[in-house]
Protein backbone atom coordinates (compact mmCIF):
# COMPACT_ATOMS: atom_id res chain seq x y z
CA UNK A 1 0.00 0.00 0.00
CA UNK A 2 1.43 3.34 -1.04
CA UNK A 3 0.24 6.65 0.36
CA UNK A 4 -0.54 9.44 -2.07
CA UNK A 5 -0.85 13.06 -1.01
CA UNK A 6 -0.93 15.16 -4.19
CA UNK A 7 -3.17 15.73 -7.18
CA UNK A 8 -0.22 14.82 -9.42
CA UNK A 9 -0.03 11.41 -7.76
CA UNK A 10 -3.78 11.00 -8.34
CA UNK A 11 -3.27 11.78 -12.03
CA UNK A 12 -0.53 9.14 -12.21
CA UNK A 13 -2.79 6.62 -10.47
CA UNK A 14 -5.56 7.31 -12.98
CA UNK A 15 -3.12 6.73 -15.85
CA UNK A 16 -1.95 3.52 -14.21
CA UNK A 17 -5.58 2.34 -14.08
CA UNK A 18 -5.54 2.21 -17.90
CA UNK A 19 -3.16 -0.77 -17.63
CA UNK A 20 -5.18 -2.60 -14.96
CA UNK A 21 -7.29 -2.15 -11.85
CA UNK A 22 -6.08 -0.05 -8.94
CA UNK A 23 -7.62 0.45 -5.52
CA UNK A 24 -7.84 3.61 -3.48
CA UNK A 25 -8.33 3.27 0.27
CA UNK A 26 -9.64 6.42 1.92
CA UNK A 27 -8.69 6.12 5.59
CA UNK A 28 -9.32 8.27 8.65
CA UNK A 29 -6.42 8.06 11.07
CA UNK A 30 -8.76 9.08 13.92
CA UNK A 31 -11.44 6.42 13.46
CA UNK A 32 -11.35 2.89 14.93
CA UNK A 33 -13.70 1.58 12.20
CA UNK A 34 -11.29 2.92 9.59
CA UNK A 35 -8.35 1.35 11.46
CA UNK A 36 -10.09 -2.02 11.29
CA UNK A 37 -10.74 -1.64 7.55
CA UNK A 38 -7.10 -0.62 7.03
CA UNK A 39 -5.97 -3.78 8.85
CA UNK A 40 -8.26 -5.94 6.70
CA UNK A 41 -6.82 -4.34 3.55
CA UNK A 42 -3.28 -5.04 4.74
CA UNK A 43 -4.15 -8.67 5.51
CA UNK A 44 -5.77 -9.08 2.09
CA UNK A 45 -2.68 -7.65 0.39
CA UNK A 46 -0.42 -10.03 2.34
CA UNK A 47 -2.50 -13.04 1.27
CA UNK A 48 -2.43 -12.05 -2.41
CA UNK A 49 1.20 -10.99 -2.39
CA UNK A 50 2.45 -10.04 -5.86
CA UNK A 51 -0.95 -10.88 -7.37
CA UNK A 52 -2.58 -7.96 -5.52
CA UNK A 53 -3.45 -4.94 -7.62
CA UNK A 54 -1.84 -1.66 -6.60
CA UNK A 55 -3.46 -0.15 -3.51
CA UNK A 56 -3.11 3.56 -2.81
CA UNK A 57 -3.80 5.06 0.60
CA UNK A 58 -5.34 8.48 1.09
CA UNK A 59 -5.47 9.76 4.66
CA UNK A 60 -8.65 11.81 4.53
CA UNK A 61 -7.84 14.19 7.38
CA UNK A 62 -4.25 14.88 6.40
CA UNK A 63 -4.99 15.08 2.66
CA UNK A 64 -8.49 16.54 2.63
CA UNK A 65 -8.10 18.38 -0.70
CA UNK A 66 -6.98 15.19 -2.41
CA UNK A 67 -9.74 13.16 -0.78
CA UNK A 68 -12.35 15.66 -1.96
CA UNK A 69 -10.92 15.71 -5.50
CA UNK A 70 -11.11 11.91 -5.70
CA UNK A 71 -14.82 12.12 -4.91
CA UNK A 72 -15.41 14.82 -7.49
CA UNK A 73 -13.27 13.29 -10.24
CA UNK A 74 -14.60 9.75 -9.80
CA UNK A 75 -18.19 10.79 -8.96
CA UNK A 76 -18.11 8.79 -5.74
CA UNK A 77 -19.77 10.10 -2.59
CA UNK A 78 -17.17 10.45 0.16
CA UNK A 79 -17.19 7.87 2.92
CA UNK A 80 -14.50 6.91 5.36
CA UNK A 81 -13.28 4.27 5.40
CA UNK A 82 -13.86 3.61 1.74
CA UNK A 83 -12.19 1.55 -0.96
CA UNK A 84 -12.68 2.45 -4.63
CA UNK A 85 -11.87 0.18 -7.56
CA UNK A 86 -10.62 2.26 -10.50
CA UNK A 87 -10.16 1.00 -14.04
CA UNK A 88 -9.56 3.16 -17.13
CA UNK A 89 -9.81 6.30 -15.00
CA UNK A 90 -13.33 5.47 -13.75
CA UNK A 91 -14.69 4.21 -10.46
CA UNK A 92 -16.32 0.84 -11.10
CA UNK A 93 -17.05 -0.21 -7.51
CA UNK A 94 -16.73 1.08 -3.98
CA UNK A 95 -17.18 -0.38 -0.55
CA UNK A 96 -17.14 1.16 2.86
CA UNK A 97 -16.98 0.37 6.55
CA UNK A 98 -17.64 -3.36 7.18
CA UNK A 99 -17.91 -3.93 3.43
CA UNK A 100 -14.14 -3.58 3.11
CA UNK A 101 -12.64 -7.04 3.23
CA UNK A 102 -11.10 -9.82 1.22
CA UNK A 103 -14.32 -11.43 0.00
CA UNK A 104 -15.79 -8.13 -1.22
CA UNK A 105 -12.53 -7.09 -2.86
CA UNK A 106 -12.10 -10.45 -4.56
CA UNK A 107 -15.68 -10.32 -5.87
CA UNK A 108 -15.29 -6.76 -7.14
CA UNK A 109 -12.02 -7.58 -8.90
CA UNK A 110 -13.56 -10.69 -10.42
CA UNK A 111 -16.56 -8.72 -11.71
CA UNK A 112 -14.93 -5.43 -12.68
CA UNK A 113 -11.15 -5.91 -12.69
Query: Which SS3 state, helix, strand or coil, does residue 96 take?
Result: strand
State the pTM of this model: 0.95
pLDDT band of residue 113 (cuts 50, 70, 90) is confident
Q: Once rounded to an integer, what is the mean pLDDT over residues 89-106? A: 95
Domains, the chain, in order of start with CATH, read 2-112 (3.40.30.10)
Among 1, 97, 4, 93, which Cα is nearest to 52's?
A: 1
Tens digit of each residue's pLDDT (9 = 90 or more) over 34-86? 999 999 999 999 999 999 999 999 999 999 999 999 999 999 999 999 999 99
Q: ∠ at Cα 26 (42, 74), nearest 5°?
A: 125
Amino acid sequence: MREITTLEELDALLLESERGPVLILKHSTRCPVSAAAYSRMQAWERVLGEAAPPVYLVKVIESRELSNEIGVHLSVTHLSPQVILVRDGCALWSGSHGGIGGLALDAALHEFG
